[in-house]
Structure 1
């Protein structure tokens, strides 16, 4: 057990300490609540404080343990939940002023699974409006800041989640990802995450008046962020508990069969039209060497076309937004949000009915190309962003800024969402004192392989939050 303060313990250390009765759930919750109240005012990462409920949940954990009841994976572990999924009795606002009183009548599957695992929910974390920007700011709850540097973004849309867990508020943070909303914040805040395979973690919001569009359902995934890869693995296991309300959830094992080694890792080539920061790319190269040192066979080969996948992602999501959601967003969104979303719509192609159906059909072909490539190379190493974290609200610089961020900087991240493949993100170092992450893309339902590789990188890079706290 670490000699650090309780709030600095990993999720795995915390769960083990509570189960071994070296510390009570109430002691753990009290330490994290104190950290929340000390660190959060400067960050605005947790925007709904649930500390009274957290203390009661911690007391219930201690009573259950004293009674000899079975303990869950996260018994007594403090966590946070993003404000775009339902927590019974709380508003699922999704960062939108008009939804400030959208009170959830029940828990979303992730929330229910956290509770079933014995987790203690400290609060709800911030997101941009409609969870559709790579920057976490909204007129309801305000701007969330990066604990490394107030001048650069914490990312989005799970920016509050990444900022809070990096700062030591909670051991695991819930987030979700439809185009990089887990991996981008992990990159910006120096934490680890996994975008799970579509169908791995159940999703459903009782408060939602209608179902999401088809491709949004097929591209959006729920997942954990943590300071350590082991915490991400533990959070994923807890989140993945079956929930029949998700019609796409698949009962796949969390650990797959062994892969004959050495496992081949393809280093994704950078398209010639991408402008990159050489310091970021040097760290990606260093990550490749870390994997080679760990026994992986690192290969410089051509991967399927990332640009084709990105264009497919953009066209499908924009078509659904424009056709089914645009009117509501335009009536409820702030000027800043509308500026960004209109720029994103102009960046893509709004498809007609036949074009939309043809794009869905093309998606199967593109996924097949990647799946077949992964038969030979079970993992792919790629950047999350080819540049360091952006200045706060850099996407408000007009259409050119939106294009630079989405098409140039973030291409490798958004494109993977349309494929439904798992992708872990983990820090690989600092550029000018700001974190940088790599992502490891894997075979369907082989999150275990992605996290194994991320852990190999972490073993050589270290846990960046410890450097943050030491400053």
Structure 2
């Protein structure tokens, strides 16, 4: 069932069962290893799907078919020669427009950056290439990647395949929309305020926010011109402490596959770790895992569809043997969400002159609303002491949450208190803007503390996907994915090109 405001001509059209673009990455990887299919076949299938639906959805930009097919032929030659193949050998993946990919413009949705051609790859792109993935298109995002919506003056608006009047999420909205519509089986994104998890939920796919440090966020040094000559651009503390690179996929198994390929210990980054032991090498928790179901933080009422999705996800986990307990609220997460409004906002303040000069009208209006919403919590311009105290409190909250979770407890939360927002809700006036930020507490509480989280679809409501979020202890991504798999195994597959899943 599609959302009633979707145009009569759907963006994602039905396709014959078994077409390569529809198949999970894990299935493609196995078939490519056995040489039952070729990488050229897979890339051509995805390119055909892109040609069919992307002109309407506008999820991918800068698609270069010839380069992708050349990479696919090389992949097939390697397979024929008996070379050792990476985990993602021959599988297409999209790369976000704010991430360095050699030979492509790192536009970040800003017209002034249209010719900012990257000379090298970001570490996460290198990891994907090393695993054998084939980059196939750049995924759209809002200007400066600073909204929960994906439109900009340079590349235009990305539509949600489930309902065009609803956001595909942001800032990795192009990545999520392209996955949902079948353009690529895998996608790369990044997340500092829900930018992987929220788009994944809006488009009915899986989004993984890894622990800070698990996936390298190193990129070629950015430089800016100054009166004294060019200098390297230094990023504010929240970028190093809260932002992550991570994957989006259509299934939990696919998300696990790409996450492990992207997990690249890298001591060039401030929070990089030297080694990441596999979960099989760590002591397994004894007894059933515990899941605290956190429905809210006491500041906002959930939409009924959000509560129903959480109830369904909890029932699936209980059926799988998890021990559940309900929490009406969790003050720790409420405080973390408030800290996000302080620390992220104050670190963004230094960017305002650049946004005013180079940004489009939408991002200027959206940021003005963001600062106004933060001011209701922290005042118009918090003092330096307030900022310092915020960082100190953050460290305490990290300790408290890790003590709570350990290695045998997870949290189950909404993704947002509302279904996917209407397009440009953050431009609709102060009253609407002030409602968005409290609703997004599950998205903002997690990154400020650097913990891992997974969002996945659970059901449909009025033709729109509604998901749930799982939060775990630091570096416990595999436990999160195990729980997500238990939910997915008990949930009908949800794709916008079919009616599977029914009305939530």
Give the TM-score range, shorter chain: over 0.9
Structural mapping, 1:404-415, within 5 Å: 404-407=435-438, 409-415=439-445
Q: Report the counterpart of residue 311 of structure 2 in structure 1.
A: 285
Matches within 5 A, 1:142-153: 142-153=156-167
The match for 2:338 is: 311
2:290 counterpart residue number: 264
CA distances 1:149-191 after superposition (whole Å, capped 9, x unpaired): 1111101000000000111111101111100001110111000
* Shift of residue 9, structure 1, vs aligned partner: 0.6
2:109 is the alignment partner of 1:83: no
Residue 53 (structure 1) shift: 1.1
Displacement of 1:273: 2.8
Higher deviation after alignment, 327-336 or 431-440: 327-336
Within the alignment, does 1:253 sit opposite 2:289 as a pair?
Answer: no
Q: Distance in 2 between matches of 1:179 and 1:254?
A: 27
Q: Which consecutive residues of structure 1, in runs of 5 or more, have no partner in the other structure?
A: none
* Inter-partner Cα distance in structure 2 for 1:21 and 1:177: 35
The one of 414, 417, 441 aligned to 1:386 = 417
Deviation at 1:235, TM superposition (A): 0.7
- Match in the other structure for 1:230: 253
Output aligned runs, 1:236-385, within 5 Å.
236-250=259-273, 251-255=275-279, 256-301=282-327, 303-322=330-349, 324-348=350-374, 349=378, 350-375=381-406, 378-385=409-416
Render the CA deviation track for 1:250-299: whole Å, top value 9, x for unaligned: 22224243112210000014233312211221111111011000000011
Task: Verify the 8 A CA contact 2:410 2:472 in the aligned structure 1.
Answer: yes
- Asked whether the equivalents of residues 152 and 389 of structure 1 are also in contact (C-alpha less than 8 Å), the reply is yes
Q: Which stretch of the first structure deviates more once superposed, 180-189 or 297-306?
A: 297-306
Question: Against the structure 1 CA distance between its residues 115 and 376, is the aligned structure 2 distance closer, same or farther, given a 3 Å change threshold?
Answer: closer
Question: What is residue 49 of structure 1 aligned with on the other side?
Answer: 63
Measure how far apart 1:193 and its partner are: 1.4
TM-score by length of 1: 0.96
Give structure 1 regions of 4+ aligned residues with deviation exceeding 4 angstroms.
Answer: none
**Cα contact 2:194–2:443 (8 A) shared by 1:** yes
User: Shift of residue 211 of structure 1?
Assistant: 2.7
SS in 2 for 1:164: helix
**CA deviations over 1:76-129 (Å, ceiling 9, x no partner):** 001101110000011101011111111111000111111101111110000001
* Cα pair 2:240 2:270 within 8 Å, conserved: no
Q: Is the 8 A contact 1:304 1:369 kept in 2?
A: no
For 1:82-231, what aligned pairs fall within 5 Å after superposition?
82-206=96-220, 208-209=222-223, 210-231=233-254
Q: Per-residue CA shift, 1:216-271, capped at 9, x if unaligned?
A: 21110111111100010011011113344323222222424311221000001423
Aligned to 1:59: 73
Q: CA deviation at 1:353?
A: 2.5
Q: Does structure 1 retain, via aligned residues, the 8 Å contact 2:472–2:480?
A: yes
Render the CA deviation track for 1:432-452: whole Å, top value 9, x for unaligned. 010011000000000001111
Tell me the alpha carbon deviations over residues 36-59 of structure 1, each in whole angstroms, 9 at most, x when there is no partner.
111111100001112221101101
Q: Distance in 1 between matches of 2:133 and 2:117?
A: 22
Offset, 1:145: 0.2
Instruction: Report the counterpart of residue 4 of structure 2 in structure 1.
Output: none
Say whether the 8 Å CA contact 2:210–2:244 is kept in structure 1. Answer: yes
CA-CA distance at 1:20 after TM superposition:
0.6
- CA spacing shift, 1:85–1:376, aligned 2, 3 Å: closer
2:88–2:261: 8 Å Cα contact kept in structure 1? Answer: yes
Aligned partners of 1:344 and 1:399 also within 8 Å: no
2:230 aligns with none
C-alpha displacement at 1:315, in angstroms?
Answer: 0.4
CA distance in 1, matches of 2:261, 2:407: 31
Equivalents in 1 of 2:243, 2:237: separation in Å? 10
RMSD: 1.7
TM-score, normalised to structure 2, is 0.90
| 1:9 matches 2:39 | no
Task: Find 1:431's aligned residue among 444, 461, 464.
Answer: 461
Q: How many residues are paired up?
A: 468
Which residue number in structure 2 is paired with residue 443 of structure 1? 473
